[in-house]
């Protein structure tokens, strides 16, 4: 997996978790929490998945709920080296 | 014979005074512990127990894993008790808790703080840190009184699940003696906290939900079922597996959570609390754990 795969990998994880089959609507701006795809309980799982992708722990005290707004904010927060204009396939 | 919370608290408070203890002086705290010297958690309670990964470990590996598992258990109970202390403090001296309930909350908070000190002494001295929790608070709309019910349900879950482990480990002569004693002291206090928590939560549930719409009740029940299941996943910590020298911590976690033996254990360990929630209407059906 390369860095450019990260947005796609995150999108798939979120859509699988939310049991979404129709994925056409989803892009890097889709609201993950506000649109009800994930709850705060799912975020716990997402953080552990992100830690596995990063290979290091996340400092939870440094996080704000806004980091989980959409794929773009997730990538910016947790994978800053990934190109911001990565497209989601 | 069930008692109301008001009937219980005088007796519980008297027991708190009679059985008062001090986390600094009630135990002999050794300078250090050898993770591979003995078991620190009952093998049957370890999060990988029964899985193929556990079967592949030798005795020394299992003892080392048990050291990190007990630190994880103490860490998330400590961090779970932190909001309990905060929430109880906010709720004392309110109109609905003034009098005997608040008198007992002083004991409750005092004992919870002692537990936090006890777990902190252990984890910081022998592990060198507290395993952090990965929870992020996200506000949601709540029905009148729901915030109180959410709070007391969280208290019951952290204390009831923790007490299942305390009761088993306090009698387990195979494990480290300090760990056994910590579980024993914790159980003594938690038995009273649970008696109060169950009685008080049931009263609040009846009081608050009578004005809720069916949709509000269903939303709460759905949240509780998901929260209950989510609470169990605290036991399966990839950092623990990594610290114990096991590769692929996240994958080990997913496999252990899904393993039939672990599912059966969680269902059995949760049975008492699930029956309480079902009896009083907190849950409409047993959650998938």
Which one of B138, B235, B238, B241 would you mutate to disrupt binding with A, by most A Cβ within 10 Å of its Cβ?
B138
Taking the Cβ of residue B247 and every Cβ of chain A, the question of whether any pair is shorter than 8 Å is answered with no
Placement of tokens 């019951």 in the chain: B156
Is residue A89 domain-resident?
Answer: no
Q: What is the pLDDT of residue B139?
A: 80
In angstroms, the Cα distances linking B176 to B54, B55, B172, B227, B263 are: 20, 22, 9, 32, 27
Q: What contacts B108, CB < 8 A, 6 or more positions away?
A: B88, B193, B196
Q: What is the pLDDT of residue A84?
A: 52
Q: How far does the CA of residue B141 sit from the closest CA of chain A (Å)?
A: 12
Determine the Cα–Cα distance for residues B105 and B110; give it in Å rounded to an integer.
Answer: 8
Q: Which residues of B touch A61 (CB under 8 A)?
A: 132
Phi/psi class of residue B50: alpha, beta or left (left: φ > 0; alpha: ψ in -120 to 50)? left
Q: Find residue B39's DSSP bridge partners.
A: B175
Q: Assign 3-state DSSP to chain A and report helix, strand, coil percentages, each to 5.
A: 50, 0, 50
Is residue A36 domain-resident?
Answer: yes
Is residue A62 domain-resident?
Answer: yes
DSSP H helices, chain A, are 6-17, 40-54, 71-78
Is residue A87 domain-resident?
Answer: no
Query: What are the per-10-residue average pLDDT scores of chain B (289 residues)?
Result: 81 95 97 98 98 98 98 96 93 93 96 97 98 86 94 94 97 98 96 94 96 96 95 96 96 97 97 97 96
CATH of the domain at A62: 1.10.1200.10
The verdict on a CB contact (< 8 Å) between A48 and B138 is no
Report how many domains make up chain A. Answer: 1
Is residue A25 domain-resident?
Answer: yes
The three-state secondary structure class of B239 is helix
Mean pLDDT for all residues in chain A: 89
Domain of A68, in residue numbers: 3-78
Domain of B174, in residue numbers: 58-80+145-280
Is residue A27 domain-resident?
Answer: yes
ipTM, two decimals: 0.84
Q: What is the pLDDT of residue B92?
A: 96
Is residue A66 domain-resident?
Answer: yes
Backbone angles phi, psi at B175, to 5 degrees: -100, 165
Token pair of B170 as six digits = 């306090």
């Amino acid at each position: 997996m390369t860095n450019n795969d990260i947005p796609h990998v995150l999108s798939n994880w979120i859509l699988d978790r939310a049991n979404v089959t129709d994925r056409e609507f989803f892009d890097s701006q889709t609201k993950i929490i506000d649109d009800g795809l994930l709850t705060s309980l799912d975020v716990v799982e997402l953080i552990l998945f992100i830690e596995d992708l990063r290979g290091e722990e996340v400092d939870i005290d440094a996080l704000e709920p806004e980091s989980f707004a959409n794929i773009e904010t997730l990538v910016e927060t947790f994978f800053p080296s990934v190109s911001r204009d990565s497209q989601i396939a | 014979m069930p008692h109301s919370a008001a009937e219980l608290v005088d007796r519980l408070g008297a027991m708190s005074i009679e059985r008062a203890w001090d986390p600094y002086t009630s135990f002999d705290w050794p300078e250090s512990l050898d993770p591979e010297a003995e078991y620190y958690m009952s093998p049957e309670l370890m999060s990988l127990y029964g899985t193929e990964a556990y079967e592949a470990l030798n005795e020394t590996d299992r003892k080392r894993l048990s050291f990190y598992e007990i630190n994880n258990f103490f860490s998330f109970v400590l961090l779970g008790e932190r909001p309990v202390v905060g929430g109880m403090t906010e709720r004392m001296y309110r109109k609905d808790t003034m009098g005997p309930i608040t008198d007992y909350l002083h004991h409750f908070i005092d004992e919870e703080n002692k537990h936090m000190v006890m777990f902190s002494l252990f984890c910081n001295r022998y592990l060198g840190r507290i395993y952090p929790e990965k929870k992020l608070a996200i506000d949601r709309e709540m029905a009148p009184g729901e915030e109180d019910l959410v709070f007391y349900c969280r208290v019951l879950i952290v204390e009831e699940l923790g007490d299942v482990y305390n009761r088993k480990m306090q009698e387990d002569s195979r494990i480290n003696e300090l760990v056994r004693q910590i579980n024993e002291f914790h159980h003594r206090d938690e038995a009273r906290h649970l008696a109060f928590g169950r009685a008080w939560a049931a009263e609040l549930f009846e009081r608050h939900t009578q004005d809720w719409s069916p949709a509000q009740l269903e939303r709460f029940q759905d949240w509780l079922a998901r929260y209950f299941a989510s609470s169990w996943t605290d036991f399966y910590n990839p950092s623990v597996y990594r610290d114990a020298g096991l590769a692929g911590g996240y994958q080990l976690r997913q496999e252990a959570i899904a393993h039939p033996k672990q599912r059966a254990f969680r269902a059995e360990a949760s049975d008492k609390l699930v029956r309480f929630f079902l009896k009083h209407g907190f849950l409409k059906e047993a959650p998938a754990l």
